[in-house]
Amino acid sequence: MKTVYLDYASTTKIRQEVVEEMLPYLLNEYGNPSSLYEKGIKNRKVINKCRSKIASIFNANKDEIYFCSGGSEANNWAIKGIAFSNKGKLEIITTKIEHHSILKSCEFLAKLGYKIHYLNVNEKGFVNIYELEETINQNTALVSVMMANNEIGTIQNIKKISEICKKQNVLFHTDAIQAAPHLPIDVNDLGIDLMSISSHKFYGPKGIGALYIRSGVKIENLIHGGHQEKGKRAGTENVAYIVGMTKAIELSINEMNERLIVEKDLISLLYKTIIEEIKDVRFNGPEIGGKRLPNNLSLSFKDVDGSILSFELNKLGICVSTGSACNSDSIEPSHVLQAINVPQEFINGTIRISLGKDTTIEDIKSVAESLINLLK
């Protein structure tokens, strides 16, 4: 039975081109980049080259890119690092629909005496801009708003949010982990001070990510030890994974425009087919278009158990999520769905379908037919 994988928002399969790029650094080019002999110096140059390539994609300076273990570490570092380096400012502003790595970091800071403000969102998942303007003040150390939501696909007005922050002289961080494979990002045009990305969201290896930190921003270290990453993030660099991440994002950006058109067309076809055949279905997030990730479809079915539905689809070889994979071990409804006020009779019957570069029209027809047979 063919597996139809439709959970690309959770993770992606590493590309063969990426594996081939990594292999020399997994096998023969094993030198420690901090070493002073040729084998190490060679790898130091490779890392610097990768740093420059990634920086150029986001219109950043190479010295503003810091490699780390992934998105969760990058988000933790941004939140805690800025809080700890701004001792006189004890307020953080974020939203109710952030990834758990942001929310849990804020909960940790709250235990230390920081005041955390959680902005509301409307029924489509958009941040209440007026609430941000009313909340931000001279005691705010950081505002953190994700660029695109991993569950319902909402793309925030990052430029508008950053402009509000700049007026108040407050630093702005965005979690761009879901957005990076799907949106062109210019950190200077958008006014971003810190930004998190993660390799496994764009067909690179797991366990590697990066935090963009604008030059001049003071941030406390999260991991202490050696002088790697310009003294900001200790630990021997994972050269092979840095190389893999760089190759993956280069390929993703080069193919972005063509891929996004295909994904949007396939998502539109799937949605149209489902709503024509299944009653009592709710579409979560913005309408399909420019303010929504083109590969994302979040659907809630009335009086249905989403976990059971996902299990039944799995038996047919179809992989979808009941929301975010990070919530899969919880019996509580997703905090994102609660924040957008999904009605009680729908909220537990939610599945998230997310497409990728290998998704075919046959895959779309398969999942549509399976959902119709299970629910009609």
Q: Where are the domains of the chain?
A: 4-12+255-375, 16-251
User: C-alpha 128: how far from its chain's center?
Assistant: 21
* Residue (of 352, 336, 345) closest to 120 by Cα position: 336
> 163: helix, coil or strand?
helix
pLDDT value at position 330? 56
CATH number assigned to the domain covering 4-12+255-375: 3.90.1150.10
* Secondary structure of residue 256 in the 3-state scheme: helix
> What residues form DSSP beta bridges with 66?
211
Q: How far is residue 201's CA from residue 28's CA, in Å, rounded to a whole number? A: 27
Fold of the domain built from segment(s) 16-251: Aspartate Aminotransferase; domain 2 (3.40.640)
* Biggest CA pair distance of the chain: 68
Give residue for tokens 């045009």. Answer: 189
Q: Which residues of 255-288 are buried (b: 16+ CB within 10 A; e: fewer)?
A: eeeebbebbbebbeebbebbeeebeebbebbbeb
Active site (catalytic) residues: 326
**Cα→Cα distances 107→36, 69, 95, 317, Å:** 42, 21, 13, 38
pLDDT tens, position by position, 212-250: 999 999 999 999 999 999 999 999 999 999 999 999 999
pTM for the whole thing? 0.96
Q: What is the pLDDT of residues 282-335, one digit of tens each?
A: 999 999 999 999 999 999 999 999 999 999 999 999 999 985 445 555 567 899
Over residues 166-218, the pLDDT tens digits come to 999 999 999 999 999 999 999 999 999 999 999 999 999 999 999 999 999 99
